[in-house]
Amino acid sequence: MGGMSGPYVIRGSVSLPEAELQWRFSRSSGPGGQHVNTSDSQVELRFDLARTEALPEVWKERALARLAGRLVGGVLTVRASEHRSQWRNRETAAVRLASLLAEATAPPPMPRRPTKIPRGINERRLRQKKQRAETKRGRAGKDWS
């Protein structure tokens, strides 16, 4: 397996800046074999969202607002330890970070335009309502005993 598989695209022509990613490796928790005590397969990927120059300003503001609960001092941290190989965990962490940023920088959805009820439908509803009222009024005067 060669190096990392290419740049991780966030959206369009914007991708994760390799130079701004900080990697930390540690031992994964959980059970393991003889190899587990020697390999640092858990990956922690840190990305300084507050200071980055890689994202357009609008995206950055949007991401900072949406990810506010996840940031620690403007830094976004992603952990991956599900694979036994460090390389695969690196891949997973990078993909996860890219998709997090893609979601956080997405433009807000278009506002919903309320649909207008067609006149015919409204008139039919009022007609049926009147008819029902007539039926009920017709019952009122009768003494059913």
| CB-based contact 62:84 (threshold 8 Å) | no
Interhelix angle 57-66/86-105, rounded to 10 degrees, is 100
Q: Which of 10, 100, 82, 9 is nearest to 43 (CA)?
A: 82
Average of per-residue pLDDT across 115-120:
92
Reported as a pLDDT band with limits 50, 70 and 90, residue 51 is confident
Which residues, at least 6 apart from 10, have a Cβ–Cβ distance to it below 8 Å?
16, 55, 98, 101, 102, 105
**pLDDT: which is higher, 103 or 142:** 103
Which residues, at least 6 apart from 4, have a Cβ–Cβ distance to it below 8 Å?
18, 90, 91, 94
Neighbours of 84 (CB within 10 A): 14
Average of per-residue pLDDT across 65-90:
81
Average of per-residue pLDDT across 116-140:
93
Q: What's the pTM?
A: 0.60
Reported as a pLDDT band with limits 50, 70 and 90, residue 127 is very high
**pLDDT: which is higher, 104 or 124:** 124
CA end-to-end distance (rounded Å), the chain: 92
* Residues 26, 44: Cα–Cα separation, whole Å: 8
Q: Across all residues in the chain, what is the average pLDDT?
A: 79
Most confidently modeled of 26-30, 32-36, 99-103, 111-115? Answer: 111-115
